[in-house]
Amino acid sequence: MAPAFTLDPQQRRWTTELRELAVRRLRPLAETARPGRVNRPLVAALGELGLLARVFPAAGSVAAMDLCLLRESLAQECTEAETALALQGLGAHPLVLAGSESQRKTWLPRVVAGQAVAAFALSEAGAGSDAAALALRAEPAGDGWLLCGGKTWISNAPDADLYTVFARTGPAAGARGITAFLVPAGRPGLSGRPLAMLAPHPIGALTFDDVPVGAEDVIGEVGGGFGVAMRTLELFRPSVGAFAVGMARAALRAATAHADRRRAFGGALKDLQAVSHQLAEMATRTEAAALLVYAAAEAQDTGDPARAARSAMAKLFATETAQYVVDAAVQIHGASALEHGHPLEHLYREVRATRIYEGATEVQRTVIAKELYR
């Protein structure tokens, strides 16, 4: 099915090129990688092909629509490439927003080239959806601080080269008193371990045992870290929906092809009304999700006052839709889709986390409800 009418011919050509590139250049790198760890050849390829340069344009911040089209297109053909690209963006975007000239000059060229792997270290065991509850401490020490505590469910940990770390520098509770730090790998006292998750995604836990940081490591202003985190997540939230739409499109395409060629009860599976109606529902929900994502991206790019609500709606609906579409595609395929290595088995594991990270479904509903009365 063609992309929604909101995309112009140039955007449609670009998304087609991205999908072809993913199949030809990126998927082979993903297929030979070690599951659950950073795939450096894949990250390097994203740099060589200029895709990371689209995430970090020289003129400033990436357009939300570009980010969404990148993620949706890559997700249709290679979720590993999509995730690697998104994590580079998430981990290093705080430097674009608030980094010093020295920080940007030192790290951004390497991130864009795919030579340095970035990570966004916000979540903790007691601070997931409620990010303002984070407890990692930055204890004053001389002219700087010592980071003490832990982070968990950090994508690209423990293999990243630089971490954007959010820690509490003041006694104030909640969002106040949180500072963002740029912490290169190899700092004394910094250690980590990989986590084995449902999907083989590079993710881990970090331990900060008196890790030294100074004024030159602060991203933005002391006490302004929560704002940096939220502004980063606000930009990336619609594109999580785009990732979900890409997976839904891939699952729908697989289900449609299978129903056409599979013979059952004397005819093609697609001729059974139960199956054809299911495919129609999958297609309708997927297209509706895509339209919400594109609308949210446009709202973000134009500074629409309703952008927070639109982003929350897009993330909520697209991720829930993708879960439904992938599950329905598995059901249409039957037992074959449950075999390890089947594309739908892969999508079934990949899609689940999107309803949790960067604002769980329940959080998005809360945001939407609040925006109704703003």
Residues 6+ apart with CB under 8 A from 184: 161, 162, 163
Burial of 312 (0-12, 13-18, 19+ CB in 10 A): buried
What are the domain boundaries of the chain? 9-112, 118-225, 227-372
Instruction: From the options 3.30.930.10, 3.50.50.60, 1.20.140.10, 1.10.600.10, give the CATH code of 227-372.
Output: 1.20.140.10
Residue 5: the pLDDT is 53
Q: 9-112: which CATH topology?
A: Butyryl-Coa Dehydrogenase, subunit A; domain 1 (1.10.540)
Cα of first residue to Cα of last residue in the chain, in angstroms, is 37
* pLDDT of residue 6 exceeding 70: no
pLDDT digits (tens, 9 = 90+) for 123-164: 999 987 888 889 999 999 999 999 999 999 999 999 999 999
96 — pLDDT class (breaks 50, 70, 90): very high
pLDDT over 50 (residue 117): yes
Q: How far apart are CA 152 and CA 53, in angstroms?
A: 29
Could you give the 3-state DSSP secondary structure of residue 218?
strand
CA–CA gap between residue 135 and residue 75 (Å, rounded):
34
- The label of the residue with tokens 């940990």 reads 157
168-188: average pLDDT: 90
Cα separation, 74 vs 243, in Å, equals 8
Residue that wins the pLDDT comparison between 6 and 196: 196
Chain segment 67-76, per-residue pLDDT in tens: 999 999 999 9
Per-residue pLDDT at 200 exceeds 80: no
CA nearest neighbour of 87 among 198, 217, 236, 234: 236
Sign of CA dihedral 141, 146, 149, 151: positive
Instruction: Report the phi/psi class of residue 60: left, alpha or beta, with left for phi > 0 and alpha for psi in -120 to 50.
Output: left
The whole-chain average pLDDT of the chain stands at 94
Catalytic residue list contains 234: no
Instruction: Average the pLDDT over 319-341 and give the result.
Output: 96
CATH of domain 118-225: 2.40.110.10
- Provide DSSP, 67-130: HHHHHHHHHHH-HHHHHHHHHHHHHHHHHHHH--HHHHHHHHHHHHTTSS-EEEE--BTTBSS-
Q: Which of 174 and 177 is assigned the larger pLDDT?
A: 177
Helix segments in the chain, DSSP class H: 9-21, 27-31, 40-48, 51-55, 64-77, 79-98, 101-112, 225-261, 273-302, 307-333, 343-352, 361-372
3-state secondary structure 58-73: CCCCCCHHHHHHHHHH
For residue 1, pLDDT beyond 50: no
Tokens representing 54 are: 């689209």
CB half-sphere exposure, 211, CA atoms < 13 A:
26
* Pairing, β 162-168 against β 118-121: parallel
Q: Is 341 helix (H, G, I), strand (E, B) or coil?
A: coil
State the pLDDT at residue 253.
98
Task: Read off the pLDDT of each residue in 166-189 and give the average, rounded to a whole number.
Answer: 91
Phi, psi (deg, nearest 5) at residue 127: -145, 80
pLDDT at position 4 over 60 = no
Which one from 77, 80, 358, 362 is the annotated catalytic residue? 358
CA–CA separation, 183 and 348 (whole Å): 34
Give me the percent of the chain exceeding a pLDDT of 90. 88
Residue 272: DSSP 8-state: S
Residue 291 tokens, joined: 């339209």
Among the listed residues 185, 149, 190, 144, the one whose alpha carbon sits nearest the alpha carbon of residue 167: 149
